[in-house]
Structure 1
Amino acid sequence: MTDVADEEATTPTKAKAKPKAAATAKAKRAKEKVSDPLDVPLFDSAGERQGDVRLPKVIFAEKVNTPVMHQAFVRQTNNARQGTAATKTRATVSGGGAKPYRQKGTGRARHGSIREPSMKGGAVVFGPHPRSYAQRMPKQMRRLALRSALSQKATEGRVRVIDGFAIEEPKTSLAVGLMDAIGFDDTTLVVLPAPNFVVSRSFENLPGIKIVLARNLNIRDLFTHTYLLLAKDCLELIEENFSRPERPKAGRGDHDDHEDHGDQEAQ
């Protein structure tokens, strides 16, 4: 017994690993590998990579605001509704002027018109009527929703930039080759700075691809398309149209100037 105890006492014990420290180091290495989401690949019209381009921070570095994006999406879809559905009430349905049968003595339920809602071919109760589904939303909230959606696309690595669409004639094969070279295999929203007939004709036969101008960028198109393909000239337009406006701040110096001006007038 004594020998066994001595052997156990002299046997070196293995050092226990520190899982917390290992997990922290692993997370740190993973964080170092992640590139800046604002640096996105830049391609030419042939699909060859030309390096990276920096996205505007004021647009693509916005904190994602999910409730505002949802509100903007619901607003846009509701504003697209016609609201022309209509049903006839008892006042508008034709016929039914005379009482169908006498009040008493038949053993049947009492009815005053064959156009009652309970009768076949009668009116509709609580049916839809023409109305407006339009919703209003402040401009700054709409811009915030758009910046949030664009920032989410950039964070997920779903944004690519094209340095001009040098397509001389409309060919679907050129558009297919460009999408394959870029690596987009799902629905894509192509954003142009200005109308381009050749580019639009080249992409219009491809399913799941939509062409939109930079000034018409909207939350619904960003939600319904997986990837975002931007022309390089669109970056400046997007920054001009959808950036957060800078509010002038009144400093103490301005207040002092007003006081001095008032003192001079009093003298």
Structure 2
Amino acid sequence: MTELNVLNSKFESKEKIKVDFDFSPESINVPVVHQVVKATLAGRRQGNAHTKTKAEVSGGGKKPFKQKGTGNARQGSTRSPLMPGGGTVFGPRKRSFEQKVNKKVMLNAIKSVLVDKQLAGKLIIVDSLVSTGKTKDMATLLESKNLMNSLVVTLDSASLVIRAVKNLRTAKGLGVDNLSVYEAVKYENLIIEKLAFEKLTNKLV
């Protein structure tokens, strides 16, 4: 059982909440976090590079020259990889780079990131984030608290907070259901609404 501080919308201390899992350095699983981050980046690769083989290149129905007497090596098709304009051998093909990540592995990675952020003093739980949807106001608030490099996580993915953070270069907003381990690792601070944090930790216990 661990007690964590909860701040109000102005990032001032408000209350404490208890979490059922252990926030010790031993509970951080670095290889699992690396696996999930690697899988996330692999899934973002397009894999659109595609070359045509001899069978896919158009033409080539006619023998380019007679079998004997030319001094050249015999050829049966102008689409041969040996001929100009022919097919490509062992070239790149369209493919998916997605890697499967089991649910338990993903949850373990999320827990590891939360523990790491907490131990580093970079986990900020806010009772409720309030925003008008204006980027300028959100930037002023984060800058005043030295939290410009932050991932902001809300309970509702359609929150005005996410809209306000959207145009900030050094920050990003996500709904708790779309939380990305890669994004959590990428940004220095993790700012999360209390209800979003409780929803997340209920999955981890």
User: 1:265: which partner in 2?
Assistant: none
Amino acid of the residue matched to residue 13 of structure 2?
A: Q
What TM-score, normalized to structure 1? Answer: 0.66
| Alpha-carbon offset, residue 38 of structure 1 | 6.4
Q: Do structure 1's residue 146 and structure 2's residue 110 form an aligned pair? A: yes
Quick check: 108-117 or 85-94, which moved more?
108-117
| Alpha-carbon offset, residue 59 of structure 1 | 6.7
| Alpha-carbon offset, residue 170 of structure 1 | 2.2
Q: 2:40 aligns with which of 60, 71, 76?
A: 76
Deviation string for 1:153-184 (max 9, x for gaps)? 222222222221233x3222210121112212
User: 1:237: which partner in 2?
Assistant: 199
CA contact 2:162–2:174 (8 Å) conserved in 1? no
User: 2:126: which partner in 1?
Assistant: 162
| Alpha-carbon offset, residue 141 of structure 1 | 1.6
Q: 1:203 aligns with which of 155, 165, 177?
A: 165
> Higher helix share goes to which structure?
1
**How far, CA to CA, are the matches of 2:30 and 2:22 in structure 1?**
16
Identical-pair percentage: 33
Alignment of 1:53-72 (within 5 A): 53-54=16-17, 56-58=19-21, 60-61=23-24, 63-72=27-36
CA contact 1:73–1:219 (8 Å) conserved in 2? yes
Alignment CA distance shift 1:180-1:52 (3 Å): farther
**How far, CA to CA, are the matches of 2:190 and 2:19 in structure 1?**
15
Deviation string for 1:38-61 (max 9, x for gaps)? 645x443334x2257457352744
Quick check: 170-179 or 195-204, which moved more?
195-204
**Unaligned 5+ runs, structure 2:** none
Indicate the SS of the match to 2:162. Answer: helix
CA contact 1:189–1:222 (8 Å) conserved in 2? yes
Q: 2:183 aligns with which of 214, 221, 242?
A: 221
Aligned length: 203
CA contact 2:125–2:197 (8 Å) conserved in 1? no
CA contact 1:60–1:147 (8 Å) conserved in 2? no
- Report the aligned-residue RMSD: 2.6
Considering only CA atoms, is the larger Rg found in Structure 1 or Structure 2?
Answer: 1
Runs of 4+ in 1 over 6 A off after TM superposition: none
**How far, CA to CA, are the matches of 2:188 and 2:9 in structure 1?**
21
Q: 1:181 aligns with which of 144, 155, 165?
A: 144
What TM-score, normalized to structure 2? Answer: 0.83
> Higher strand share goes to which structure?
2
CA contact 2:4–2:19 (8 Å) conserved in 1? no
User: 1:259: which partner in 2?
Assistant: none
| Alpha-carbon offset, residue 133 of structure 1 | 3.3
Deviation string for 1:222-245 (max 9, x for gaps)? 12222211112222111112x14x
CA contact 1:192–1:231 (8 Å) conserved in 2? yes
**How far, CA to CA, are the matches of 1:51 and 1:147 in structure 2?**
24
